[in-house]
Structure 1
Amino acid sequence: MRIYDQIPSLRQNTSVALGLFDGLHRGHQQVISKAVSYDESLTPAVFSFDYDNPALISKPDFKTLLSPTLKIELLESFGAKLFIHPPFSSIKNLPASRFLREILWGALGAKAVFCGYDYRFGQNAEGDTEMLKTFCASHAIHCEVVPALTEDGIPISSTRIRECIHEGKMEWAQKMLGHPYTIDFPVSEGRRLGRCLGFPTINQPYPEGNILPRFGVYAALAQIDGKQYIGVTNVGVKPTVGANNIPAAETYVVGYEGDLYGKRVPLSLIHFIRPEQKFSSVEEMKVQITRDTQEVTRMLQNMLR
């Protein structure tokens, strides 16, 4: 898949999926699937944008659900051949009419366009699906507005997914995402206390701006060198040992031995086990980690591949 962080002049006919696609949930996948499967003579493209400045984000609760690396991997698996994602600051002041004429029609060469029912575009979000359909009709572009996909009778949305993750409801988040909530933050060097306790861990600090799950212990699956391992993950600030106040995912990877410092390890949080807690002693914490490991292993051993 070719990836552009600026708007290219493609000089080819495309079938374009339009949207922010934060999280690439099942509703987003439905839009992208239609663009990919519409006409094999057209190049399937995804047009989005990146928030390059937090001050430009209009939604106060907006937090990133998916890293750029994982997003690209998912888009490739969905069949997209082009991914165009310019910085938001470069297009936020572009009038909707110019977006349609100069970018969609001109630069991207769109012959088919697909978007969600609530898609907005252009300066101050002045453009809507009716404006898009009118423009496409006048330029012989196929246009399809995809209705909301529901879960439990309510439209799937990134907002609902963020709420579930924040509350530790990972099964519900996965139902709406169509894939587990996964991080792949770089592994950083910790205090090596887990190694002394017999449970060596990897530490993945949460970058600012990313959605924070409910603090606590999770059953997790880690991908390392193409193999899947069971993980016992604590998301939080390690209150027993008083490490720092930077939230991190600290994971004991069952059965793995090796140095992962500096590497990106995809880690999927599958099920919330218990809240984060402060123990009266390190020995008490060791006993609880043993129990957690036994419970998580029983829960996930059939999911290994």
Structure 2
Amino acid sequence: MRYITDIQSYQGKKRTAVTLGKFDGLHRGHQKLIEKIKEYAEKNCESVVFAFDMGRDCLMTNEERRNKLEGQIDCLITCSFTEELRTMEAERFIQEILVKKLQVKYIAVGADFRFGYEKKGDVRMLASFAAEYGYQLEVVEKERYKGRVISSTYIKEALSQGAVELANTLLGYRYGMAGIVEHGRQLGRTLGFPTMNVAPEKGKVLPRFGVYACRIKVEGIWYEGIGNVGVKPTVSDERRLLTEVYAFAYHADAYGKKAEIEFCTFERPETTFSSIEELKKHVEQDIAYGKAFFEEQRVESQEADRQKPAG
């Protein structure tokens, strides 16, 4: 997959199948659009995701979005919201970006897609120029869950309530974060529960503060565990936001290594305990909860496999 951060540097030998939007989270609705351009690109086109700047408070960093799309499409173009782009009239965007630069042959967007100066461009405008510029427009129906349109806003609402299982359903994969394992106060090690501290990137949306059953990937291997999202109020006055993970079966030194974290289910809110002894007691309960959760997941998976028809 080619990755381009400046539309002017795009060079293509084929016409393109394009979808456009912020693609924050790459949720099931976004995946539906991407499948459309991939399918059309089989007709000797290049599949292109044209992703606008996600702004602040994002479900994904640019790196996470890029990694998620790697191997799925031919080209990802990320476009910062420059003054030139902000003031570009919608018709000019069609002419100069879609037609002249991208040589577009097929466009897939949702019904509410807006573009151009003051967001005056919409699907009706795209349709009105389709014959003149020789491209096909497909307006893709929104993906819904229990009657509500799946959107980044919906997912952020779920995360703010700690409803990560709902968020994961809307996304089509487990929500998470990534970062470098930092040195901490090593209190967890003293208590017998050595943890990995990972700080989120600036602007990255995290779920509600609290304890979660989670998975953490270190050096290419996934480990089950529990994680606390928050500021560790019982043991620290810094109020620094961290995700602190205890992996049940990881016993090596992870400092300085990259880690990926997936949130599986919410257990309890972050709490200030009256003593370290009380904290230790609750961590032991958290670990028991996390182990029971993953064991139940394995049992359910095995049962589902048994019920599949043979051959």
Q: Does 1:65 align with 2:31?
A: no
Look up the match of 2:11: 9
Task: Assess, with a 3 A threshold, how the Cα gap between structure 1 residues 103 and 80 changes in structure 2: closer, same or farther.
Answer: same
- Shift in CA distance, 291/174, structure 1 to aligned 2, threshold 3 Å: same
Amino acid at match of 2:48: A
Partner of 2:128: 134
**TM-score, structure 1 normalization:** 0.92
What SS class does the counterpart of residue 287 from structure 1 fall into?
Answer: helix
- Give the corresponding residue for 1:80: 73
Matches within 5 A, 1:249-268: 249-268=243-262
SS in 1 for 2:34: helix
The amino acid that maps onto 1:3 is Y
Unaligned regions of 5+ residues in structure 2, if any?
302-311
Q: Is the 8 A contact 2:178 2:200 kept in 1?
A: no
Would you say 1:45 and 2:65 are equivalent positions?
Answer: no
Q: Who is 1:54 aligned against? A: none
Tell me if 1:101 matches 2:95.
yes
Matched with 2:294 is: 300
Q: Tell me the CA shift for residue 69 of structure 1.
A: 2.5
| Residue 19 (structure 1) shift | 1.1
Rounded to whole Å, the distance in 1 between the matches of 2:124 and 2:52 is 21
Does the CA contact (< 8 Å) of 2:87 and 2:117 recur in 1?
A: yes
| RMSD (CA atoms) | 1.7
Find the aligned partners of 2:258 and 2:237 in 1 and give their Cα distance. 22
Residue 19 (1) aligns with residue 21 (2): yes
In 2, the alpha carbon distance for the partners of 1:257 and 1:212 equals 26
**Alpha-carbon shift at residue 261 of structure 1 (Å):** 2.7
Distance 1:259 1:125 in 2: 51
Deviations 1:19-75 (A, max 9, x none): 111000000000010000114111111001225xxxxx5xxxx52101223212221
TM-superposed CA distance for 1:194, in Å, is 1.0
CA distance in 2, matches of 1:264, 1:86: 27
Instruction: Name the larger-Rg structure.
Output: 2
Kept in 2, the 8 Å contact 1:11–1:109? The answer is no
Q: Residue type matched to 2:4 in 1?
A: Y
Q: What displacement does 1:264 show?
A: 2.7
- Given that 2:218 and 2:257 are in contact with CA atoms closer than 8 Å, whether structure 1 keeps it comes out as no
| Matched residue SS, 2:99 | helix
Q: 3-state SS of the aligned residue for 1:104? A: helix
Does residue 116 of structure 2 align to residue 114 of structure 1?
Answer: no
Query: How many residues get paired?
Result: 295
Which digits, 9 at most, give the CA deviation of each residue in 1:94-147, with x for residues without a partner?
Answer: 211111111111111111111111111112211111111112232110110111
Q: Do the aligned partners of 1:67 and 1:184 also contact (CA within 8 Å) in 2?
A: no
Per-residue deviation, 1:258: 2.3
Choose from 186, 192, 212 the match for 2:186. 192
Residue 188 of structure 2 aligns with an amino acid whose one-letter code is G
Separation in 2, partners of 1:39, 1:267 = 33
TM-score if structure 2 supplies the norm length? 0.90
1:171-186 maps to which residues of 2 (within 5 A)? Answer: 171-186=165-180
Gaps in structure 1 of 5+ consecutive residues: 52-56
Q: Secondary structure at the match of 2:212?
A: strand
Amino acid at match of 1:48: A
Q: Using the aligned pairs only, state the percent identity.
A: 39
- Rounded to whole Å, the distance in 1 between the matches of 2:178 and 2:62 is 10
CA contact (8 A) 1:9 1:106 kept: no
